[in-house]
Amino acid sequence: MSEVRPFTLAVPEAALDDLRMRLERTRWPEAETVSDWSQGTPLAELQALCEYWRQDYDWRKCEAKLNALGQYTAEIDGLDIHFLHVRSPHADALPLVMTHGWPGSVIEFMGVIEALANPTDGSLAFHVVAPSLPGFGFSGKPSGTGWGIEKIGRAWGELMTRLGYTRWVAQGGDWGSAVTTAIGVQQLPGCAGIHLNMPIGRPLPEDLASPTASELKALTALKYYQDWDSGYSTQQRTRPQTVGYGLVDSPAGLAAWIFEKMWAWTDNQGSPYDALGRDAILDNIMLYWLPATGASSARLYWESFGSFAPQQIDLPVAVSAYPKEILPTPRKWAERNFRNLVHWGEMEQGGHFAAWEQPEAFVRELRTAFALMI
């Protein structure tokens, strides 16, 4: 099928009542034995978030915003892909496909879409396409294996073709970085270049022997991730079905699983709310809760976790390096694989969720980067 279908969210009130009931009946564990987040999401923090979720959070506001932006679905390779599509009023706008990661969603881009699509100062404008990854949000859930990042990248190319875009650019971080990298590696027809906010590079033996300051920072971050922050990815890449049972059944468990990353992966002063608003965090969690994607989203790790590896790209590549990125890559490591690195932006603030945390800086970076590719 080549049809692109409008998609309107109208979550039944019964689903929201069920959520509130489950939150009210949560069986809580005892509190952690430390005074910080080092054992995971603190009990008091999670209880406060869940109480707000149950009593005061308004899903309908998020639902209305998504519907107002413009939501669609398209069947590609037998799977329904959900996506936001905002056409710019500017005739010379550049088509752009942006890809989120885990534990994110299209909610990450809510604060940048309007600025990208409709600048008022004559800056570069974009037709914005933001798909939900297979098994995430309101996209379909693959019923078989094979939906790894290479296939997803090709699906995005097909989607851009169906929308009538013959020349376009791509952007991503986290899994979005892996998919966008796959688009670049495959040199999909129509793609003029890519932008990454989590490029993947690895050190050579000589880098380890005498690391620069930026390399030492990257090596320290990599060791911390491997030792203390990779338990979630090990579970999701080896036993996504097992972890999915709890994430699909318990909203408190799902919130704890995701909320911890809002703390660990953002540029904050101790609280996730330093970087992201409480409602925005819950909007994002709802895109996992409502469609019950705890297992299906985790399954992407089973499919493609090994794809987070350096790969040669000959297309134009731009990078924005944020200081609190969980796996920073020094420019020297990136240049070994990006044969046509046209822009490298060293950002002053921001973490893993670039567009979400630093929307104005993110928009400036995309305009600067993609202006060099048109």
266 domain-assigned: yes
32 domain-assigned: no
34 domain-assigned: no
- Would you state the pLDDT for residue 308? 86
Active-site amino acid positions: 174, 301, 352
Strand order in the sheet with 126-131: 4-6, 71-76, 79-86, 126-131, 94-99, 168-172, 191-196, 317-321, 341-346
CATH code for position 291 = 3.40.50.1820
> How many independent structural domains does the chain possess?
1
36 domain-assigned: no
* Strands 94-99 and 126-131, bridge-based pairing: parallel
In this prediction the pTM is 0.97
103 domain-assigned: yes
- Cβ pair 132, 71 in contact under 8 A: no
- Would you state the pLDDT for residue 271? 97
Residue 348 belongs to domain spanning: 4-18+41-371
Query: What's the rounded Cα separation, in Å, for the pair 65 and 83?
Result: 14
- Would you state the pLDDT for residue 1? 45
- The string of pLDDT tens digits covering residues 164-195 is 999 999 999 999 999 999 999 999 999 999 99
Distance set, CA 27 to CA 30, 44, 311 (Å) = 10, 14, 45
262 domain-assigned: yes
30 domain-assigned: no
Please list the ranges in the chain whose pLDDT falls under 70: 1
Which burial class, exposed, middle or buried, applies to 70 when counting CB atoms under 10 A from its CB (0-12, 13-18, 19+)? middle
Query: What's the rounded Cα separation, in Å, for the pair 24 and 26?
Result: 6
Residue type, 62: C
Give a three-class secondary structure readout of the chain: CCCEEECCCCCCHHHHHHHHHHHHCCCCCCCCCCCCCCCCCCHHHHHHHHHHHHHCCCHHHHHHHHHHHCEEEEEECCEEEEEEEECCCCCCCEEEEEECCCCCCHHHHCCCHHHHHCCCCCCCCEEEEEECCCCCCCCCCCCCCCCCHHHHHHHHHHHHHHCCCCCEEEEECCHHHHHHHHHHHHCCCCEEEEEECCCCCCCCHHHHHCCCHHHHHHHHHHHHHHHHHCHHHHHHHHCHHHHHHHHHHCHHHHHHHHHHHHHHCCCCCCCHHHCCCHHHHHHHHHHHHCCCCHHHHHHHHHHHHHHCCCCCECCCEEEEECCCCCCCCCHHHHHCCECCEEEEEECCCCCCCHHHHCHHHHHHHHHHHHHCCC
152 domain-assigned: yes
